[in-house]
Amino acid sequence: MPETPNLDRIASPADLKGLDIAQLRVVADELRAETIDAVSVTGGHLGAGLGVVELTVALHAVFDTPDDVLIWDVGHQCYPHKILTGRRDRIRTLRQGGGLSGFTKRSESEYDPFGAAHASTSISAALGFSVASDLKGEDRHVVAVIGDGSMSAGMAYEAMNNAGALDKNLIVILNDNDMSIAPPVGAMSHYFARLVSSKGYRSLRKIGKGLAKVIGVEEAARRAEEYMRGMAVGGTMFEEMGFRYVGPIDGHDMAQLVAVLRNVRDGQEGPVLIHAVTHKGHGYAPAEAAADKYHGVAKFNVVTGEQAKSKPAAPSYTGVFADALIREAESDRSIVAITAAMPGGTGLDKFAQRFPDRCFDVGIAEQHAVTFAAGLAAAGMRPFAALYSTFLQRAYDSVVHDVAIQKLPVRFAIDRAGLVGADGSTHAGSFDLGYLGMLPGMVIMAAADEAELVRMVKTATLIDDGPSAFRYPRGEGTGVEIPANPEPLEIGKGRILREGSAVAILSLGTRLEESLKAADQLAAHGLSATVADARFAKPLDEELVLRLAREHEVLITIEEGARGGFGAFVLHLLADKGVLDRGLKIRTMTLPDVFQEHDSPVKQYDEARLNARHITATVLDALGRAEEAAKALA
């Protein structure tokens, strides 16, 4: 009897071919242990990946990847997939600078045919691959694995509706890992899933359909089969969208998975949905016992599961926002809060505990979240839509059409503004200043520290004549004292923190601290610097900007956003006022015009050239002092 293969013998998915079920189970067990050990070193997403270990092994054993296309939705469950597809030797570089991405990434491997880090894109992309294969005359299978959380987004159903109408060969696996649509109940459910995916059933189905057509009861027969299967397994909805429904099956039963996947592979006729029930954190006791199933973790002790989270020196911006909103809501019953599947990430879990009837998690449905908030505003409430900057992008049409055009007072609390470290380019909040700033009537604030954020929450509460937004970064604040009774800001007015004569540094957001450091460095070069906090990207404090331009030889703007944002707004103002014709040396410092790779936040901002030494060098270079600028950067 041959020795049972183990993970060390799996260099690529091809090495899984020919293994029996017992051998595949051994591989899965070792793959789970390797995933746990790797993430204990790097931190990252764990629970979802542990839930799809058996599914990952079965998929690569049954299908011929990368010739067959395998697309993972969101991608945070793809660590086991990466280990099996030739990246095991680099798996402990996950989310580190120069290392593997925490999500699927086309440039990283031929086994990642489509990059993903936002939810609900897999079925649309997979349908694109399926149609392309037909047009190019290729014979390959296309599989999309989508979690039930991602199935709360309308995009998934739009894609399924289109796929059903096109009747293309497409396999969608619903990884049902939380609230099961129809849990597998005993042997009968398993038997039925294997039956409806089998060759015998398909042949009988064809004969039955032909007979029904001949005797004129085709529609009645179709409905009888559909509702019989719907009552047995809960698949009627998917059948109505044109998908053959198979399931539910136990996503941790290797024999079941392999049998069903082989049946579907060998007899596919149009789109098929396989409903697999899994458990996040499966096989690792600390994850199974945790409320979040270790969805996202810091580095941890494998034996105990204890995470190595350092005690923060200052409260997080997210926590400060949540506390401030709760204080405002205690005295204003019209305040309501909305988030899109991120109550913990946005701090609204704390708000929900205090005001459960005034907090709404709409699922992964940002477009709905924004229009829902617009409806609340139109009905006289004061809604705060708390969303990550990168996720708000998904709802841009709703921001324009449903909020801005109607001048509705929806307040956007924009978390994760700026760079986000290990999550990389897919989660960076780079573009909100530009895409919101172009909208008429939008008020946009950016907090320089925790105290300013609290005042901006207060200010937004009082803006009732149109939409507003305030942005703040991921991570800890600066440690400043937070006012117990914050005063609202005057709309469109900034502040000067340090007066100088030669150079003006106009900061928007949390680069203010680096701006003050740069002013100290410039003093060593004999240059006196004014440092101002714009507070508002829109409306601009025109009086302040024009004064800085008039009274200084050099004006620097700095922001944690892409080109086309705050600096561009300042340039428009100065051009309109004719100030640029007077020889002012102005430089705009923004995030670079690239999608920055994942790394530590410190290294990312250094790469973006937005730290104090870069501000100093920019000023010196503007003044023609190139040698001093080079030394400042050394």
Catalytic residues: 280, 366, 394
State in Å, rounded, how far the first CA of the chain is from the last one.
Answer: 64
CB 343 within 8 A of CB 352: yes
Q: What's the angle, vertex CA 291, arms to CA 288 and CA 297, rounded to 5?
A: 80
> What is the DSSP pairing of strand 536-538 with strand 443-446?
antiparallel
Contacts of 581 (CB under 8 A, 6+ apart): none
CA gyration radius for the chain? 28
For 134, 248, 272, 356, 464, the CA distances from 335, given in Å and listed in that order, are: 52, 42, 44, 12, 12
Grouping H, G, I as helix, E, B as strand and the rest as coil, residue 519 is: helix
> Alpha-carbon distance 592 to 607, whole Å?
9
505 DSSP β-pair partners? 531, 556
Angstrom CA distances, 546 to 10, 181, 493, 516, stand at 65, 60, 13, 21
How many Å apart are CA 17 and CA 80, to the nearest integer? 17
- Distance between CA atoms of 309 and 312, rounded to whole angstroms? 9
Look at the block and give the residue holding tokens 């190139």.
626
For every residue of 389-404, DSSP letters joined together read: HHHHGGGHHHIIIIII
Q: Can you read off the two tokens belonging to residue 542?
A: 């025109």
Tell me the CA distances in angstroms from 527 to 502, 547, 616, one per residue in order.
6, 18, 10
Burial 598-618 (b: 16+ CB within 10 A, else e): bbeeeebbebbbbbbbbbbbb
Token pair in block for residue 616: 């100093």
